[in-house]
Amino acid sequence: MELTNIQDVVTQLNVHGPTLAFQNVTYSVTTPCTFPLKGREQKEVLKDVSGILKPGMNAILGPTGSGKTSLLDVIAGWKDPKGLKSGQIFLDGKLMDTKFHQCSAYVVQEDILTGTLSIRENLQFSASLRLPVQRNSNAEKKLKVDAVIQELGLQDCADTKIGTEFLRGVSGGEKKRCSIGMELITSPSLIFLDEPTTGLDANTANAIMQLLHRLSRKGRTVIFSIHQPRYSIFRLFDHLTLMNKGEIIYAGPVEEATTYFNSIGYHCEQFNNPLDFFLDVISGEVVQSQPRHDLGNKKNHHFSNSNSSLDKNPLSSHYRVSSYYEELQKELNGLQSPLNQCCDTTSSKASYATSFGHQLYVVSCRNVKHLLRNPQTSIGQLLMGIVFSLLVGLLYYQIPDTMPEALQNRLGAFFFLVLTQIFGNLSAVELFIYDRKLFIHESARGYYRTSAYFLAKVFADLLPNRILPVLLFSSISYFMMGLKYNAESFFLHVLSLSLTNLAAVSMAFLVSASVNTFAVANILIALPYVFMMVFGGFLVNLNSMLTWLSWIKWISIYRYGMNALTINELTGRVFSLNSTSIHGELYMEQQEIDYSTWGFWENELALLCLTCIFLFLAYIQLLRVNRWK
């Protein structure tokens, strides 16, 4: 059906939300190793929890560490399946299958958006990659974006950029609504949100929850964790799940929650916010009075037949003998699968709505926009290239052809050239670290393939930040130093520096794809750079090096870069020493440098191979990035 106007699309956004049920879910995490005191341990964060969440506003509440976020992640399918010890999850009465993520959306607590793009451009990015090209034309995608903007009330700021540390952007509430809009593009019937009001002021938080309430009234199932909302927000909830120490202590209608706690001996004072009262009960700040006799008799009967683990959490024990739990079990028993298999919804691979070529184009366009609107790195690289080229040119200005200055200054200049090309690209370690959260968020949700993201990021960085500065650097320094004055030698000189630059940058990309922080990345990239410099053949004679260390020279970017520049410049050059002619080949023979045509291209090929190897390993590291929460 072709969509002709925004109103048609808004009407299409009204969907029927599913009923989600989870039964006997137990989830464990592995605690970090605190060597030498204690090894890694398994800690249960969810303990045999069950529940049913229907269309409407479903809130999961509890103090910090109660397991509410873990429960949300498990039932949303974004938790590592290795930790799921038992349990089943049902969608509309059927065991959850691999197509679950196609009808659901997950809005994370932190707003993960591209800061240099506007709200409209972020939504267009989501629509371009997550809506199938075959079924949605560009015009229909634009209508879908406009409809989401209208539904979220973002018309006034739709063309305002999200904002970065250098660029003023939209407010926190508008950013949160944009995050929700990124998920609404696919018209999900089931929406998960992890603490959507975190970091927002009271009025903005209320506006976000009012928005979610309107979405739920259009048929969606909205499930969210939340921490201490105010009463006006509490009134919007349809179903409340309270948690404590990984167990559910109440699950039922919101309006009956206070009555339930009164029935077990916890009385809410007049004018007290019920949610504050519930948290006070969990923390033990409210003293329990005598519970009702009918419930007390059930409780005593339950205690006589329960294991000691339930006694450790009396609130959970009270809930397990309540009519709410009894009714829940009756509903869940009707959903039981005869296979009794463990839910493994998270094991499915992400499905993609668009082709690799389309993904590469869209992600590349976003990277180009980001580069043009945030040009600090590119400008910095160009300025550094100009400064270093002028410095090298002035230090080695018009190198004479008389020995020993002719040879000494040329080799010193080559070492300095290679040094600047390698250490001048330390900024490349930020390439994958800076947008790591964005990459994990988008790739896990099927925006694009890792290969499309990798190629788009690499090519968008190489041309403006690496290749252009090298060309500028070479053009200035080469002629200031007075090296071979012919076109072939100049272009081979530029090629050698470019390949040296690419090899060094590729190693930085590998480190960037392997770690999460800049501090660790800087250490890991500096160490191999220094080792390669030491074993490059300029500071230490490789012929006199210890045998068991000599292998390092075969992976030294310095060695191949220095050799290529030396062969290109010294081959065919004749220098004078007290009216005696000395050929440049004599020095290369002493250093056992193969100055033949093949010898030169052998160094170029080695640099190209190192570049390809480092890039391939960087791609493998990106594939290995943990996308589970």
Residue range of the domain that includes 486 = 356-623
Q: Give the N- to C-terminal CA distance of the chain in Å, as an integer.
A: 38
pLDDT of 371 strictly over 50: yes
| CA–CA dist 18, 188 (Å, integer) | 10
Helical ranges in 535-626 per DSSP H: 557-570, 584-590, 597-623
> What is the per-residue pLDDT for 227?
83
In this structure, of 439-453, 549-563, 584-598, the range with the lowest mean pLDDT score is 549-563
Tens-digit pLDDT profile for residues 15-30: 678 899 999 999 998 8
Buried b / exposed e over 302-341, threshold 16 CB at 10 Å, is: eeeeeeeebeebebbbbbbbbebbeebeeebeebeeeeee
> What is the per-residue pLDDT for 438?
93
Query: Are 574 and 582 contacting, i.e. CB atoms less than 8 angstroms apart?
Result: yes
Q: Is residue 208 part of a domain?
A: no
Query: Could you tell me the CA-to-CA distances from 31 to 28, 63, 83, 221, 572 in Å, in that order?
Result: 9, 20, 12, 33, 65
Bridge pairing between strands 42-53 and 84-91: unpaired
Structure-token pair, residue 344: 């493994």
pLDDT of 319 strictly over 60: yes
User: Which amino acid does the sequence have at 250?
Assistant: Y
Find the mean pLDDT for residues 367-377.
87
Average model confidence (pLDDT) for the chain?
A: 85
Q: Is residue 394 part of a domain?
A: yes
> What is the per-residue pLDDT for 306?
40
| CA–CA dist 277, 281 (Å, integer) | 6
Find the mean pLDDT for residues 321-333.
92
pLDDT of 437 strictly over 70: yes
Measured from the Cβ of residue 550, the count of other Cβ atoms closer than 10 Å reads 13
Q: Is residue 235 part of a domain?
A: no
Query: Are 212 and 242 contacting, i.e. CB atoms less than 8 angstroms apart?
Result: no
When pLDDT is cut at 50, 70 and 90, the band that residue 350 belongs to is low
> What is the per-residue pLDDT for 293?
44
| CA–CA dist 551, 547 (Å, integer) | 8
Q: Between 534 and 181, name the one with better pLDDT.
A: 181
When pLDDT is cut at 50, 70 and 90, the band that residue 60 belongs to is very high
Q: Is residue 267 part of a domain?
A: no
In this structure, of 93-97, 108-112, 206-210, 396-400, the range with the lowest mean pLDDT score is 93-97
Inter-residue long-range contacts of 540-545, CB under 8 Å, 24+ positions, other chains counted: 543/592
Q: Is residue 11 part of a domain?
A: no
Q: Between 166 and 329, name the one with better pLDDT.
A: 329
pLDDT of 322 strictly over 50: yes
Instruction: Please work out, in degrees rounded to the nearest 5, the angle formed at the alpha carbon of residue 409 by the alpha carbons of 408 and 411.
Output: 70
Q: Is residue 143 part of a domain?
A: no
> What is the per-residue pLDDT for 252?
94
In this structure, of 97-106, 109-118, 257-266, 508-517, the range with the lowest mean pLDDT score is 97-106
pLDDT of 493 strictly over 90: yes
> What is the per-residue pLDDT for 495?
94
> What is the per-residue pLDDT for 341?
45
> What is the per-residue pLDDT for 378?
79
> What is the per-residue pLDDT for 347?
43
pLDDT of 337 strictly over 80: no
Q: Is residue 520 part of a domain?
A: yes
When pLDDT is cut at 50, 70 and 90, the band that residue 382 belongs to is confident
> What is the per-residue pLDDT for 565?
94
Percent of the chain with pLDDT over 90: 46
Find the mean pLDDT for residues 537-557.
69
> What is the per-residue pLDDT for 140?
87
pLDDT of 538 strictly over 70: no
Find the mean pLDDT for residues 171-193.
93
Structure-token pair, residue 396: 């080695």
> What is the per-residue pLDDT for 43?
86
> What is the per-residue pLDDT for 540?
65
pLDDT of 36 strictly over 60: no
pLDDT of 527 strictly over 90: no
Q: Between 425 and 239, name the one with better pLDDT.
A: 239
Tell me the backbone φ, ψ of residue 58, rounded to 5 degrees: -115, 110
Tens-digit pLDDT profile for residues 290-302: 655 444 444 444 4
Find the mean pLDDT for residues 188-206.
91
Q: Is residue 629 part of a domain?
A: no
Structure-token pair, residue 185: 């593009």
Find the mean pLDDT for residues 160-186.
91
DSSP line for 348-389: SPPP-SS-HHHHHHHHHHHHHHHHHHSTHHHHHHHHHHHHHH
When pLDDT is cut at 50, 70 and 90, the band that residue 348 belongs to is very low
Looking at the chain, the number of H-run helices and the number of E-run strands are 25, 12
> What is the per-residue pLDDT for 519?
87
pLDDT of 373 strictly over 60: yes
> What is the per-residue pLDDT for 69?
92
When pLDDT is cut at 50, 70 and 90, the band that residue 8 belongs to is low
Q: How many domains does the chain have?
A: 1
Bridge pairing between strands 190-194 and 104-107: parallel
When pLDDT is cut at 50, 70 and 90, the band that residue 121 belongs to is very high
Q: Between 271 and 370, name the one with better pLDDT.
A: 370
| CA–CA dist 129, 554 (Å, integer) | 43
> What is the per-residue pLDDT for 228?
79
